[in-house]
């Protein structure tokens, strides 16, 4: 018997729980078709960015020419999107073609931080055939004068604004940096999110020691990064009325199985697919099926959430756990134990 991989996410019925998340892989229909043929249950297109939409509107109204005349250097701060996706019109046409050409649901992605005209693109994505919209609020709370509540309210307002534009399901991709992730998740759901995508992976700036410059870096993830979303999906499963997608650190069948065990409805993949190519989806699905069969599971539904915080015998393992025991059990090749006269030599 082969385990049934059918999955429900955001009310959509998917043939498998593997969903390639927003990345450059979504730029070409051929690549998306290869992901579908390898068994992806749905795909998320790369984001359409707030800055991109506003950049276009400024162009439309000739404002950029005025800025360029007065402050030529200002234009260099505007992001270059030409290599990612070339504006809202292009994005919507691409989305339409993907919906036409693919059998699996296509999820449109919007990425921004403020309420404005760009939010209307959510409706246009829905009209272009998006099965759902993923809203990525990629916001770094870098202003010490902005309170935690104000930061959360920014998300809530944005979610309400996008929700008001669309009737298709809305997923919110959020970061892990909130004082109370669980409480904030509830606020997002109350504001209209049908699903939560945990977690946004923020690109970290680095320092170039020779040039003494700050260099934004984009490194692909490693499987060790899986542990953070794993914990939070386990904690939130059955405690928020929303679909849960796990993103960050899923590279192998084992990673994907762990995500489902703690309660993810789908596991999303970007880095591993960018590295290995679209057929890697099949490798992961084959590995999952083999494990499910071997361990007597008839379906992923049977497995899903069976190791969430609610369902494991030692739920504290997902919280502070035996943190003290864990740190003291660390074994080092050096003897760092304290004595009355200081660390042992």
Ligand X SMILES: Cc1cc2nc3c(=O)[nH]c(=O)nc-3n(C[C@H](O)[C@H](O)[C@H](O)COP(=O)(O)O)c2cc1C
| Interacting residues with ligand X (CB under 6 A) | 21-24, 46-47, 109, 111, 136, 173, 201, 218, 220-221, 247-250, 269-272, 274
Report the nearest approach of ligand X to the CB of residue 253 (Å): 14
Report the nearest approach of ligand X to the CB of residue 202 (Å): 10
Report the nearest approach of ligand X to the CB of residue 56 (Å): 17
- Between 267 and 307, whose beta carbon lies closer to ligand X? 267
Q: What is the 3-state secondary structure (H, E, C) of the chain?
A: CCCECCEEECCEEECCCEEECCCHHHHCHHHHHHHHHCCCCCEEEEEEEHHHHHHHHHHHCCHHHHHHHHCHHHHHHCCCCCCCCCHHHHHHHHHHHHHHHCCCCEEEEEECCCCCHHHHHHHHHHHCCCCEEEEECCCCCCCCCCCHHHHHHHHHHHHHHHHHHCCCCEEEEECCCCCCHHHHHHHHHHCCCCEEEECCCCCCEEEECCCCEEEECCCCCCHHHHHHHHHHHHHHCCCCCCEEEECCCCCCHHHHHHHHHHCCCEEEECHHHHHHCCCHHHHHHHHHHHHHHHCCCCEHHHHCCCCCCCCCCCHHHHCCCCHHHHHHCCCCCCCCCEECCEECC
Report the nearest approach of ligand X to the CB of residue 158 (Å): 14
Which among 92, 28, 86, 21 is positioned nearest to 52, based on CA atoms?
A: 86
- Between 27 and 153, whose beta carbon lies closer to ligand X? 27
Report the nearest approach of ligand X to the CB of residue 94 (Å): 13
Report the nearest approach of ligand X to the CB of residue 207 (Å): 21
- Between 16 and 111, whose beta carbon lies closer to ligand X? 111
- Between 226 and 307, whose beta carbon lies closer to ligand X? 226
- Between 234 and 273, whose beta carbon lies closer to ligand X? 273
| Residue reference for tokens 């699905």 | 285
- Between 7 and 109, whose beta carbon lies closer to ligand X? 109
- Between 21 and 308, whose beta carbon lies closer to ligand X? 21
Report the nearest approach of ligand X to the CB of residue 61 (Å): 26
């Amino acid at each position: 018997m082969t385990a049934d991989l059918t999955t429900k996410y955001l009310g959509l019925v998917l043939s498998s729980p593997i969903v390639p998340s927003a990345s450059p892989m979504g730029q070409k229909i051929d690549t998306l078709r290869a992901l579908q043929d390898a068994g992806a249950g749905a795909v998320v297109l790369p984001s359409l960015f707030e800055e991109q939409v506003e950049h276009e509107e400024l162009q439309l109204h000739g404002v950029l020419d005025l800025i360029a005349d007065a402050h030529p250097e200002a234009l260099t701060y505007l992001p270059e999107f030409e290599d990612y996706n070339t504006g809202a019109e292009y994005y919507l046409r691409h989305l339409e073609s993907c919906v036409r050409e693919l059998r699996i649901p296509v999820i449109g992605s919007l990425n921004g931080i403020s309420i404005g005209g760009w939010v209307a693109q959510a409706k246009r994505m829905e009209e272009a055939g998006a099965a759902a919209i993923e809203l990525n609020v990629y916001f770094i709370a870098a202003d010490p004068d902005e309170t935690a509540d104000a930061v959360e309210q920014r998300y809530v307002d944005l979610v309400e604004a996008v929700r008001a534009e669309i009737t298709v399901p809305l997923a919110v991709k959020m970061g892990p940096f909130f004082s109370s992730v669980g409480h904030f998740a509830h606020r997002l759901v109350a504001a209209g999110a049908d699903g939560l995508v945990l977690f946004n992976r923020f690109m970290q700036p680095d320092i170039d020691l020779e040039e003494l410059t700050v260099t934004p870096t984009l490194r692909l993830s490693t499987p060790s990064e899986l542990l953070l979303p794993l914990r939070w999906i386990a904690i939130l499963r059955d405690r928020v009325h929303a679909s849960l997608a796990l993103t960050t650190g899923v590279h192998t069948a084992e990673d994907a199985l762990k995500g489902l065990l703690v309660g993810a409805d789908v596991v999303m993949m970007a880095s591993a697919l960018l590295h290995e190519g679209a057929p890697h989806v099949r490798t992961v699905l084959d590995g999952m099926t083999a494990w499910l069969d071997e361990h007597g599971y008839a379906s992923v539904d049977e497995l899903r959430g069976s190791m969430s915080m609610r369902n494991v015998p030692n739920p504290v393992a997902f919280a502070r756990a035996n943190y003290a025991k864990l740190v003291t059990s660390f074994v080092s090749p050096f003897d760092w134990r304290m004595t009355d006269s200081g660390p042992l030599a």
